[in-house]
Amino acid sequence: MVQASTGNFYGTTSNGGTSIYGTVFEITPAGTLTTLHSFEFTDGSTPIGTLIQATNGNMCGTTTAGGAGDHGTIFEITPSGTLTTLYNFCSQTGCTDGGGAYAGLVQASDGNFYGTTDNDGTHNDGVVFEITPAGVYTVLHDFAGGTTDGNEPLGALVQATNGDFYRTTQYGGTGNDGTVFEITSSGTVTLVHSFDVTDGENPHGGLVQATNGNLYGTASFGGASGVGTIYSLGVGLRPFVETQPTSGKVGTPVIIRGNNLTGARSVTFNGTAANFTVVSGTEIKTSVPTGATSGRVQVTTSHGTGLNSNVLFRVK
């Protein structure tokens, strides 16, 4: 589930509802559940990927089946339950636009949404796509299933602090054991790592970028015992800090997490200084200062290093 700015949680069920094709629901922290939408197949079926809250406040997600071509959809739903289908997969001849979007979406810093499909595409190995909030859909990359990119990406993309996206594939690479790839917003793909069983095999899940700059993930099989691994992957990205929450009014309490924060010299919100308390080497407590505007939160460490937040903090 995802906790939205309302404070409530939103999620999906892969089946059930009035027509058994799945639902979107809202649940309060106290446990009051409301079914916002029951899929009717024509608007999608079997939503599996995680929802995200877009910058306009609505939730966005994907379904793995149903829709006009029975290959899944991309949808947007308001907190009150009004659902809009943004795109029907397999709208193009031969399903060159992909199908079976098992992972959710990521809304990038440019405002557009990015994601992957598990299958279809020209080679039937999945695609990476971009879609605007207005529903303009573009295939950025068509997986060929070879040693240069991999095939069958299942988890969601993650946008790293360099602006590029990273993701794993179940198969492909030099030994057909899966890969980690990087893709730019314009569609340039770089193979970052090929798994070789000793370090993991068939990574199904997505990746997360930690505040030390490295990527972390899991592999379903391989490793010393053959039953999977947890791995880190350095791709040369700088450390950063992250804020919880990522938006708020003046006076809103904010927790900043990172590494090597002991002895921090300053905290600023888009250049406006804030009072703060260092809790530990990985946590600082602060609040949105008077006069702050939307932008990066920056922590100056005891060594004078400036650590920027991975996303813009939005002052309401």
pLDDT digits (tens, 9 = 90+) for 81-99: 999 999 999 999 999 999 9
Residues 6+ apart with CB under 8 A from 44: 21, 22, 63, 65, 66, 67, 72, 73, 75, 85
Q: Quick one: which H or E segment has residue 267?
A: strand 266-269
Q: What does the domain layout of the chain look like in residue ranges?
A: 2-233, 242-315
Q: Which CATH superfamily is domain 242-315 in?
A: Immunoglobulins (2.60.40.10)
The per-residue pLDDT for range 8-53, each reduced to its tens digit, is 999 999 999 999 999 999 999 999 999 999 999 999 999 999 999 9
Handedness of CA 138, 169, 12, 245 (dihedral sign): negative
147 pLDDT above the threshold of 80: no
CATH 2.130.10.10, applies to 2-233: yes
pLDDT of 212-254, one tens digit each?
999 999 999 999 999 999 999 999 999 999 999 998 999 999 9
By the 10 Å C-beta count (0-12 exposed, 13-18 middle, 19+ buried), 163 is classed as: exposed
pLDDT attached to residue 155:
78
Which pTM value belongs to this model?
0.91
Q: DSSP string spanning 26-58?
A: EE-TT--EEEEEE--BTTBB---SPPEE-TTS-
